[in-house]
Structure 1
């Protein structure tokens, strides 16, 4: 099958993208200055094979989620992102849809926090972007696992330790966030499907949703049981980005502690894993 305009655009923007700007090491044997397919796939949360098929025109109907993820990974401007949607035969998300566009200023913030685990999620708690040390800390997340609400109620246990009290507080806060997002973005079908799936398959979610439970995220300390460096206790803050409805989750360690040393080691491990890809 012949290469498509969509595939040519992805390849052109991949060649333009700076590995350093994406938090990736620039060393090693690089035939071109831009991102490798493996790196783009990792940043976008899709398979290398699918990136290859899209670029070569063997996959021609990417979903909205895939196009949005590629746009973020390639750091497209608002106009370029809109153009990529049109090339895919899709209408760019409009009013009433949970916004997923990450502004250049938020990208720059992540670039500068190279040793700090940082992740950016949208109003429905779908992971949009994570820096390498966050991925090293929490592990890679694909498909449904990229949504924090889905993981909370339907996913396998993660690396973060929870007491009964902390888990209840997290569940209530997540339900409150989804309720508020549903009110702000009534036209978002994906959000409505997520809520319906959680109500159908999680008795706990249905109980909280139907009771009108509301909660909020507050600063907390979390212990992450990491399979390679052991337990790491970190302060976790959830920041809101004015005007974009994004949530930025930042993990920091108290200076001079064993936790800080383990976090530094994780930063190195994260870079090594990305280089391996």
Structure 2
């Protein structure tokens, strides 16, 4: 890895990203027009110390996942993203691996959904990016690492989500997720991360093994969900999952019926954001 050149590239690209283009306030005392290290760290879901070490050439061998998150946060073009992979000593993902690059059009869509909880998942249901309203609604995902970012793992082995489920809806959701994961594994056989995820799920979840081996199927449809929020209480929302043609990614959106108490609660929790809960 060309540590110095990698760090210089990250710093150069960080300096050119205006805060307002990524939904951050542009005010305050700034020595440059671009992002602060802390802001890049927040957008990429990594620590500010790690960004500092990368820029100063003191960190080695960043993972492909870190490169992808940096590329998204820095709004890199396809050519720039490939260059960053090469600077890190890595081969950019090919056609046999799960697409993780968010297209400019999807990024513009996310930028415009200021009051709507929205998140983008890849073909294997690993979270790529979530906007602030989504983080406020479902919990801040910026500290999630590895399999913690995968919806299949979180629902079968991890802490789950804030969505309230009946036994029937839980089973249907699990079947849909596993069916999607099986389809992704078939489409992207060279994706090592996907293979490791499947192996860990099979090793530790009997429910996953049962669904995987039975060839369970599921499908997406608009669903009304109740989200138990720790500050504003239960919020009933419509959840739609849109598939992005050409990238195999999914945009998940939560909306409330206008003029209802749920719409008021959604607006309130969006204002509250992810502030720490107090007694």
TM-score (norm: length of structure 2):
0.93
Aligned residue in 2 for 1:219: 222
> In structure 2, how many angstroms separate the alpha carbons of the residues matched to 1:264 and 1:59?
41
Structure 1 residue 219 displacement after superposition: 0.9
Deviates more, 1:79-88 or 1:136-145: 136-145
- Deviation sequence 1:211-247 (CA, Å, 0-9, x none): 1111112110111111122221110000001111110
Structure 1 residue 99 displacement after superposition: 0.5
Aligned residue in 1 for 2:16: 16
> In structure 2, how many angstroms separate the alpha carbons of the residues matched to 1:23 and 1:40?
12
Aligned residue in 2 for 1:244: 247
Aligned residue in 2 for 1:113: 113
Q: How many residues align?
A: 272
Aligned residue in 1 for 2:152: 149
2:251 equivalent to 1:262: no
Match of 1:190 among 187, 190, 193: 193
Structure 1 residue 173 displacement after superposition: 0.2
What value does the CA root-mean-square deviation take over the aligned residues?
1.7
Residues 159 and 194 (structure 1 numbering): CA distance in 2 closer, same or farther, change over 3 Å? same
2:236 equivalent to 1:233: yes
TM-score (norm: length of structure 1):
0.94
> In structure 2, how many angstroms separate the alpha carbons of the residues matched to 1:214 and 1:163?
19
Deviates more, 1:114-123 or 1:256-265: 256-265
> In structure 2, how many angstroms separate the alpha carbons of the residues matched to 1:121 and 1:42?
18
Q: Is the 8 A contact 2:137 2:269 kept in 1?
A: yes
> In structure 2, how many angstroms separate the alpha carbons of the residues matched to 1:37 and 1:228?
30
Which consecutive aligned stretches of 4+ in structure 1 deviate over 6 angstroms post-superposition? none
Structure 1 residue 45 displacement after superposition: 1.5
> In structure 1, how many angstroms separate the alpha carbons of the residues matched to 2:40 and 2:148?
19
Q: Secondary structure at the match of 2:129?
A: strand
Structure 1 residue 65 displacement after superposition: 0.7
2:47 equivalent to 1:44: no
Q: Is the 8 A contact 1:123 1:181 kept in 2?
A: yes
**Superposition pairs for residues 26-175 of structure 1, below 5 Å?**
26-141=26-141, 142-143=144-145, 144-175=147-178
Q: Is the 8 A contact 1:23 1:131 kept in 2?
A: no
- Deviation sequence 1:70-109 (CA, Å, 0-9, x none): 1011111101100100110111001200001111111111
Q: Is the 8 A contact 1:14 1:35 kept in 2?
A: yes
Name structure 1 gaps, 5 residues minimum. Answer: none
Match of 1:207 among 205, 210, 218: 210
- Indicate the structure whose relative CO is greater, using CA pairs within 8 Å and at least 6 residues apart: 1
